[in-house]
Amino acid sequence: MKKLLVLVIIFFNVSTGIAADKEKVFYQIEKARSIIKEFTAKPESVNYADDITVAWNYIKIAETEFQKNTNILGKLSDQAVPTIIHYANMAELTIRIALSRLEKAGHEKEISRLEGLISDIKAKIKVLEDKDAEIIRLKKEVEKAKSDITKLPSEISKEKDSEIERLSKEVSALKSEKEELNTNLTSLKKELGDKNKAFEALQTELKYKLTELTKMQKDLHSLGKLKEFLDVVGMLGVPVRTSENGITIIIPRRDFIKITSKGAVLSPGSEKVIGQLVSLIKRFPEYRIVLKVYGFGQPAKNEGMKATEHMAIMVKDALLQRGNIAAEMITAESGGNIPIFPKDAVELNRRVEITFLTK
């Protein structure tokens, strides 16, 4: 039986473990460290000292986990790899979010500058409009001067011609200045539009990164709860099996049930096992329980579907009564007579399987 337990536990460790990859761990830590140093080199990073401190703390945690989980032969524990990589990624993500905030501040400053330029241009446009009015007035004076020329002596006519030429040149200069200002205004409007698009893209990226950070934190919490659950289950000293449907612990049926001449009853030693299960259920209320009792061999009155279903309900009732647990948390049913151990291991195949499923 001990050999079988070892084989089951080894199978569980192989199927659920994560292959250690030392080079990947080194790469993630060094990548995060490089990004922090690159960000710290920026003069504006002095305004993000708290973010830099948080990032370095994540690096320290990753390095501590690396050292703590590396044995004297230099082998890194497979189970520690996701945690170390997570902290390295958290350091990188912290700095990238700070960099996004820095870039956002720069964009806002640039937008403020462009808005100031637009105000200046509007003021210049007002000047142009005033000059347009002046042009109209000058044109009227020119027309009036032309009309007066026919009435004035030749000398006065020449003087007026000179004045008309001067005024015409001034009008042409004002038109050129107006065209140049209009061109500048169009260019600035386009530049402002491009800056606004870049700013909106930056906001979208920041929201995505914040969502990613929240998800990573939830994944880390779930991983921690799963590790804690497996650690507690491991202390029970029974075989454990994992699958997509949940985590199943396998306990010999004789630890719960005793067959008497009057039928199945709770065995004298069941109180201890039931107490351990109640403690486990209360400690991890996020799981619901599927409890199956398996029979094996003859007679059918003790090993058949109806008999094993009755045993499952008996164990469920004991758990509910001992732990004051809500009935809907536990489903009890017969598991039939499907063996998982060699057929000559009758007592091992007579078992109780308790599967913990996420609600």
303 lies in some domain: yes
| pLDDT of residue 189 exceeding 90 | no
pLDDT in the model for residue 9: 31
- Residue 295's nearest CA partner among 345, 253, 251 is 253
pLDDT in tens, 294-305: 999 888 888 999
Query: How far is the C-alpha of 253 from the C-alpha of 257, rounded, in Å?
Result: 6
Q: Quick count: other Cβ atoms within 10 Å of Cβ 301?
A: 11
332 lies in some domain: yes
Q: Give yes or no: residues 25 and 115 share one domain.
A: yes
Which of 90-104, 191-205, 313-327 is the least confident region?
191-205
Q: Give yes or no: residues 109 and 213 share one domain.
A: yes
pLDDT in the model for residue 13: 38
| pLDDT of residue 16 exceeding 90 | no
291 lies in some domain: yes
Strands (E), the chain: 240-243, 246-252, 257-260, 263-266, 287-294, 330-336, 351-358
Containing domain of residue 298, as a range? 240-358
5 lies in some domain: no
Q: What is the mean pLDDT of residues 263-287?
A: 92
- pLDDT band of residue 234 (cuts 50, 70, 90) is confident
Q: What is the mean pLDDT of residues 240-245?
A: 84
Q: Give yes or no: residues 230 and 245 share one domain.
A: no
- Residue 264's nearest CA partner among 303, 231, 221, 225 is 303
Q: Which residue type does 305 have?
A: M
| pLDDT of residue 256 exceeding 80 | yes
- Given a contact cutoff of 8 angstroms between Cβ atoms, the answer to whether 211 and 95 are in contact is no
Q: Give yes or no: residues 91 and 46 share one domain.
A: yes
Query: How far is the C-alpha of 34 from the C-alpha of 133, rounded, in Å?
Result: 62
Q: Give yes or no: residues 92 and 217 share one domain.
A: yes
Q: Give yes or no: residues 230 and 278 share one domain.
A: no
Q: Give yes or no: residues 194 and 96 share one domain.
A: yes
pLDDT, mean over the chain: 84
Q: Omega of the bond prior to 299 within 30 degrees of 0, cis?
A: yes
Q: Give yes or no: residues 266 and 230 share one domain.
A: no
Q: What is the mean pLDDT of residues 64-91?
A: 91
Of 210, 235, 260, the one marking the end of a domain is 235
Q: Give yes or no: residues 244 and 295 share one domain.
A: yes
Q: Give yes or no: residues 142 and 255 share one domain.
A: no
Degrees (nearest 5) of the Cα angle 73, 74, 78?
110
9 lies in some domain: no
pLDDT in the model for residue 6: 32
Of 235, 261, 292, the one marking the end of a domain is 235
**Count of the separate structural domains present in the chain:** 2
pLDDT in the model for residue 217: 61
pTM of the entire structure?
Answer: 0.44
pLDDT in the model for residue 252: 94
43 lies in some domain: yes
- Given a contact cutoff of 8 angstroms between Cβ atoms, the answer to whether 313 and 291 are in contact is no
Of 235, 265, 294, the one marking the end of a domain is 235
Query: How far is the C-alpha of 72 from the C-alpha of 122, rounded, in Å?
Result: 74
Q: What is the mean pLDDT of residues 205-216?
A: 72
| pLDDT of residue 18 exceeding 60 | no
CATH number of domain containing 339: 3.30.1330.60
Q: Give yes or no: residues 144 and 30 share one domain.
A: yes
Q: What is the mean pLDDT of residues 243-266?
A: 90
2 lies in some domain: no
- pLDDT band of residue 231 (cuts 50, 70, 90) is confident
pLDDT in the model for residue 221: 58
Q: Quick count: other Cβ atoms within 10 Å of Cβ 347?
A: 12
Q: Which residue type does 16 have?
A: T
pLDDT in the model for residue 218: 62
What are residue 289's phi and psi, to 5 degrees? -115, 135
Q: Give yes or no: residues 297 and 160 share one domain.
A: no
3 lies in some domain: no
